[in-house]
Amino acid sequence: MDIRVQDAPFDLGAEANAFAAKQSGMGALVTFTGIVRDLNDGGLDAMKIEHYPGMTEKAIEKIAAEALSRWNLGDILVIHRYGRLQPDEVIMMVATSAPHRADAFQGAEFLMDFLKSRAPFWKKEVGGDSVDWVAARDEDEDALSRW
Amino acid sequence: MDVLYFAWVRERVGHPKDRVETGAATVRELVNELREKEERYAAAFADLDALRVAVDQELADFDAPLNGVREVAFFPPMTGG
């Protein structure tokens, strides 16, 4: 697995291609990308993402190891940014490879569900005069129970 | 031990980290000690349902023992992805 927590932007296409090039015998490759959304109709200036250095990497590794143990996956890539991001910037990506697509899809969904609520990141929306921490949603917590 | 604060917990407390000497046996006892320190700590720890805790960088609950623990962190529910 390849886990990266960084403030620098990354090239989604280049990362997906590099991940694909490392695989062999994998018939399926799934990627998911999270992007900064402006929910306030032009009112969002930036999203600030804070994390817990040290724990973040460990938490993601644990989630990825769990995914590898549950599905027939070849490999996992997770890149998650922190710091100040503009609307439409890429926040994070996951990629999974597997012999068959069901494992690749489910593994990626599992990773996303747990990254949302079990990896120590916190988002703050900055827009105009308002600065608000993004509240965790009950649906995101509920999503964990299906696994 | 080191006590770390993240997101709005850090903002309410006013700084990211405290070094504390404590005899607290559990996270809950540590929280009660912190609440006694100053009003801003009492405000940060007013509602434990709104908080999560990690003990030595692993998610834990408020009844987790602190024996031998080096680092405790308090933060709101996580919003990654």
Complete DSSP assignment for B48-77: GGG-EEEETTEEE-TT-B-TT--EEEEEPP
Residue B11 makes CB contacts below 8 A (sequence gap 6+) with: none
ipTM of the shown complex: 0.95
Are A48 and A83 in contact by the 8 Å Cβ rule? The answer is: yes
**pLDDT the model gives residue A43:** 83
Q: Among residues A42, A7, A50, which one has the least CA distance to residue A127?
A: A42
pLDDT tier, A46 (very low <50, low <70, confident <90, very high otherwise): very high
In whole angstroms, give the CA distance from residue B77 to residue A98. Answer: 32
A60-73: per-residue pLDDT in tens? 999 999 999 999 99
Tell me which chain B residues have a C-beta less than 8 angstroms from the C-beta of A81.
none
What is the average pLDDT score of chain A?
95
Could you list the residue range(s) of the whole structural domain that residue A39 is in?
2-146
- Give the CATH number, domain containing residue A142: 3.90.1170.40
Give me the domains of chain B, ranges plus CATH numbers.
2-75 (3.10.20.30)
The b-or-e profile of B60-75 (16+ CB within 10 A means b, else e) is beeebebeebeebbbb
Of B4, B57, B73, the CB nearest to A58: B57
- pLDDT tens, residue by residue, A108-119: 999 999 999 999
Q: A52 vs B77: CB contact, 8 Å cut-off?
A: no
Q: Is A117 on the interface with B (CB under 8 A)?
A: yes
Residue A40's pLDDT is what?
A: 66
Predicted local distance difference test score (pLDDT) of residue A42: 74
Which pLDDT score, from 0 to 100, does residue A129 have? 80
Q: Looking at the complex, report in whole angstroms how far the Cα of residue A72 sits from the nearest Cα belonging to chain B.
A: 23
Q: What are the tens digits of pLDDT across the range B6-32?
A: 999 999 999 999 999 999 999 999 999
Q: Is the pLDDT of residue A56 over 90?
A: yes
Q: What is the model's pLDDT at position A41?
A: 72
Q: Looking at the 3D structure of chain A, how many domains does it have? A: 1
Task: Identify which has the larger pLDDT, B36 or A40.
Answer: B36
Q: Dihedral of the CA atoms A94, A12, B81, A54 (nearest 10)? A: 80
* pLDDT confidence tier of residue A22, bands split at 50, 70 and 90: very high
Q: Dump pLDDT digits (tens) for B28-81.
A: 999 999 999 999 999 999 999 999 999 999 999 999 999 999 999 999 999 999
Q: What is the pLDDT of residue A116?
A: 95
Looking at residue B19, the DSSP 8-state letter turns out to be E
Strands B52-55 and A28-35: unpaired
